[in-house]
Amino acid sequence: MKRLRYYVYVSTAKVDMLYGQIPPKLLRRLAVEAKVDLKVVSVAVQSPRAETSAYDRLDLVEAYLEREFDVSWMSEPAAWFRGDLGLRIAGYGEADKPTLMTGRDGDTVVALIGSAHHLIGHQAAPDMHRVGFSGLPSIFRLLQDTPPEWERQFNVRSWNTMPDRGSVTSDVLRVAEALTVPPMYCEFLARQLMRGTVTREDGRELTIVVGTPLYVAMSDRVPVDGEV
């Protein structure tokens, strides 16, 4: 039986973009492996593909990525990487704004940037013009001009200068450490945008991984005492 997930964030834009590129013959094979309803997929393989549900498409895209790409773990991220850690999520304000999900596991700090309208239960109105926030320029702008509601709710301050690629890892770490909203333990699959290191004043080197998530879901794993 296919495991149920309690999703927090699903990028339907990424799912649809990737789903449309899967070769039809491979799509049918993946459907069998992912245990997706073949009656639905048989229609999708011919035309139109949109007959599948959003979550069926996500399952098939995930299966495709696992089959065709090196999907790694967040501590040694490849182009696509998985993770499982406590994420502090900021961005439940306006649906046309970015959302930032960040957490730390040992010496690895993960920052996921996406669009708030992909947060489950926070969809935008059908007639609203949607703006994507899944690229590096979005996190650069976010660091330069932190949304006012984030400053009020999460004690995050803005930076007055546009960070370059060399300094953005330090700024990402400062934002991640400034968020005070309680963490939610989650699993995720994301596309890497950049990776760098920051050496702290105590000499400890941290790896900063910036990505954009395909999905984020509540984890079934129960964190131990003191773990975030």
Question: Three-class SS of residue 185?
Answer: strand
* Displacement of CA 144 from its chain's centroid (Å): 21
Q: Would you say residue 64 has pLDDT above 90?
A: yes
Q: Which residues neighbour 153 within 8 Å (Cβ) at sequence distance 6 or greater? A: 90, 181
Burial state string for 80-100 with b = 16 or more CB within 10 A and e = fewer than 16: bbebbbbbbbbbebebebbbb
Higher pLDDT, 191 or 140: 191
pTM over 0.85: no
User: Phi and psi at residue 211, in whole multiples of 5°?
Assistant: -145, 175
CA distance 34 to 51: 17
Provide the strand spans (E) within 130-199: 184-199
CA distance 24 to 71: 22
Are 78 and 53 a contacting pair, CB within 8 Å?
A: no
**Across residues 103-129, what is the average pLDDT?**
77
Number of H helices, E strands in the chain: 7, 7
**Across residues 5-25, what is the average pLDDT?**
92
Confidence of residue 134 (pLDDT cuts 50, 70, 90): low
Q: Which tens digits make up the pLDDT trace of 174-226?
A: 888 888 888 999 999 999 988 999 988 888 899 999 999 999 999 987 665 55
- As a whole number, the mean pLDDT across the chain is 77
**Predicted local distance difference test score (pLDDT) of residue 82:** 96
Residue with tokens 């799912």: 15
| Preceding peptide of 48 cis, ω within 30° | yes
